[in-house]
Structure 1
Amino acid sequence: MKKPLYSWLFDEFDVAYSDFVWNKELIPQLGRLPDKIRKKLTKGGVNKSRLVNQSQEKALFGSFYRMEYVGVCSRCSQPISKHKSVNINLQSDTDRGERHNCVIALDTVRSGEHRQVIYLTDDYKAARNYVHPIFEIFPLGSVWSSYDFVLYLFVRHFLRIHIDDIKKSIRDITAKALVSAKVQGISKETELIWQNRFITYSQKVDRIDQVMQKFPRGGKQCPPC
């Protein structure tokens, strides 16, 4: 694709993020971003992130339940999970960005600013521990990874983006994740998980291409680049 994924993201969606994410994740990256993206992140030098107060975070995560693995059925050998109460240290910075973005998602729908949201994260552990349990209860929208965003772009701009560029993006996402995981000390199991994700999403790309090639064109079409 002719532009990086973050450029596509800001062109396609109204992006929101918490003040914590702004300070801990985005500010260190500002110098590496193109002027166009910096202007979208900031307006006249004023931070456009959203503040999350402690009462909001406490209301959402103070009494928190999620599905937890508890064992294997002795009869059918299937995994058993059940809802368990989880005590979250709200003073800890660990996964605070994900928690605060969940608060923003809830407040965005509650206030009527948007009817639905897309929660974008590549932190699968944090998504499993915090984001998915919230979205399973609150009908706020969808939880996407970068893989899902690439699939969306392929559907949305099928006439503009070649399948080879989509597959390259899928490879790049996987390679970046594996490099990051290896720095932290990746296990064989984790490496296999990422390889399976790559295979799964590559197959989805092929299926989308198969359908879209045959799908009747109707309505407004975006011109090819």
Structure 2
Amino acid sequence: MSETPPKPVALEAREAGEDGRRFSPSVARNREPIRDAFAEHVAREGRVLEIASGTGEHGAFLTEALTGLDWTYSDVDAASRDSQAAWVAAAEHDRLHGPLVLDASLADWGEAEAERPWDVVVSINMVHIAPMSAVEGLFAGAGRLLKPGGRLFLYGPFGRDGVMAPSNARFSEDLKRRDMEWGVRDLEMELLPLASLADMILQEIIEMPANNLAVVFERT
């Protein structure tokens, strides 16, 4: 019997450079708005743990723009970690680290646990292409690893109290056709209860381009 091929961790083609760094079209579109929201509402300095770092571009871009950030990549996917390692090697500063092998759905985040407390946990475009167990684990892990007053930063499409923009609803249905465990999450109905269980409170909701949101939680 042939093995089931692994599920893709990205919804788009990612170009690879000769040095191993991968490049995402969506990052090219959203990195400036994310940088601005992060700088204004999250932090300009501190130790950041990124969950599901993908190509690694966001960490590289934000640490170039915000020189007080010290950023650690992590991912469950080996190919993504290879790209992240290439971004670390290419950086002209020493504030990019990792990647750590980290499965957000687990109760123990391995090396990241030993480095706590973290100032910020970041997850960009993950919660809609992950099973709910990983979403639950993301909040539980952030609550466990963040310092009091530390922040969890999420970016992506979300529903709001049972209402979803038509484009996000279509996107969610497409995701569920790919994998029934995926789908656009509802901020109030699904995520706020997880934040409460993890001793985090909602701090900011920032409207972003293309019906996306940047959402900031604070550890109490």
Between structure 1 and structure 2, the one with the greater Rg is 1
Q: Does the TM-score normalized on the shorter chain lie above 0.5?
A: no
The structure showing larger relative contact order (alpha-carbon pairs under 8 Å, at least 6 residues apart) is: 2
Q: TM-score range by the shorter chain?
A: 0.3 to 0.5
- Normalised by the length of structure 2, the TM-score is 0.35
What's the TM-score, normalizing by structure 1?
0.34
